[in-house]
Amino acid sequence: MPNPDPWKARQGKRQRGRPLELAEVLAILSDAIRKTEALLDGEEDRDFILRCTHAISQACGQYSRLMADGELEARLAVLEAAVRGKVA
């Protein structure tokens, strides 16, 4: 029997998890990069190698952007703390 109220089920699924912190996302991405890199060891299939290489390059690009964002957030937090100290 189909679900009588699929909208409610979809909403529950959408709200299931909490948003990930930047450090968690970086850890997931670095783990995925290492696993993809390990898949390439001893691989002969050229098509598979190209797909893995593309996946690694995409993940590394995202990783570097997230690292830059994390650095910017940290610097901004220091500046905000300094301003709060002068205003208070």
Q: Are 29 and 59 spatial neighbours (Cβ–Cβ below 8 Å)?
A: yes
Question: Can you give the pLDDT at residue 88?
Answer: 59
pLDDT in tens, 51-67: 888 888 898 888 889 88
Domain that holds residue 62: 19-87
pLDDT in tens, 1-53: 567 777 776 666 655 677 778 888 888 888 888 888 888 888 888 888 888 88
Q: Is residue 2 part of a domain?
A: no
Query: Of all residues in the chain, what percent carry a pLDDT higher than 70?
Result: 85
Number of compact structural domains in the chain = 1
Q: Is residue 1 part of a domain?
A: no
Q: What is the mean pLDDT of the chain?
A: 82
Q: Model pTM?
A: 0.56
Q: What is the DSSP string of 1-64?
A: ---S-HHHHHHHHHTSSPPPPHHHHHHHHHHHHHHHHHHHTT---HHHHHHHHHHHHHHHHHHH
DSSP code of 88? -
Q: Is residue 7 part of a domain?
A: no
